[in-house]
Amino acid sequence: MRLQLKNQSQFTSYKSLTYYIMKTFLLFLPLVLLMHCGATKPIPNDTQDWINNQAFTVSAPKDWRAVKHHGYVGYTPLLEGDNFFHTLVSVFEYKPQGQSDFNAFVQERFAETNAGINLLNQDIKTEDTHLGPVYIHTTTSSFNQKTYKR
């Protein structure tokens, strides 16, 4: 059996065809690997730039790290455990303009968070601390027959 290609070169045996394919593969393998590694190279200063652009500073515990999260800087433990969303904290600076109500701002943020997810249950707790009110928003949702709590 003879295989004829467009460039009129002929492979007279299976061995020569295999050699040609292997040679071509080995020539393109380094090129593909170099292109792939360059495209997925991490940019270590990107999250730090986000932190530097904030108008406030956060002192996170030593076993926590900063991550980019939906346009904001979030903080999560180094050991995330089973579910990433159980241990994600976002810190916002709120400067009221005029006599706006902080509670109304919090309710708007909760409404934005809930848009687009299939909520099964949600609970909003308010605790008064020496720094002011702390809002804890717990949601339960389902996706692909799996229940998620955050």
**Pair 65, 15 in one domain:** no
98 and 141 both lie in a single domain? yes
What is the model's pLDDT at position 142?
77
Q: Do the beta carbons of residue 66 and residue 51 sit within 8 Å?
A: yes
Does residue 9 register a pLDDT over 60? no
- 87-108 per-position pLDDT tens digit: 777 777 766 667 667 778 777 8
When pLDDT is averaged across residues 9-35 and rounded to a whole number, the result is 75
Say if residue 71 is in the same domain as residue 26. no
Domain that holds residue 7: 3-39
Burial (CB count <10 Å: 0-12, 13-18, 19+), residue 137: middle
Mean pLDDT over residues 131-146, rounded? 79
Q: Give yes or no: residues 122 and 88 share one domain.
A: yes
pTM of the model: 0.35
User: Do 120 and 68 fall into the same domain?
Assistant: yes
Q: Are residues 63 and 112 in the same domain?
A: yes
What share of the chain has pLDDT > 90, as a percent?
A: 0
Closest CA to 87 of 96, 99, 78: 78
The answer to whether residues 50 and 29 belong to one domain is no
* Rounded CA separation 75/67 (Å): 6
Q: Are residues 53 and 90 in the same domain?
A: yes
Residue tagged 């530097």 (tokens) = 52
Are 85 and 116 in the same domain? Answer: yes
* Same-domain pairing of 31 and 52: no
Q: What is the mean pLDDT of residues 58-69?
A: 81
Strand partners, 133: 128
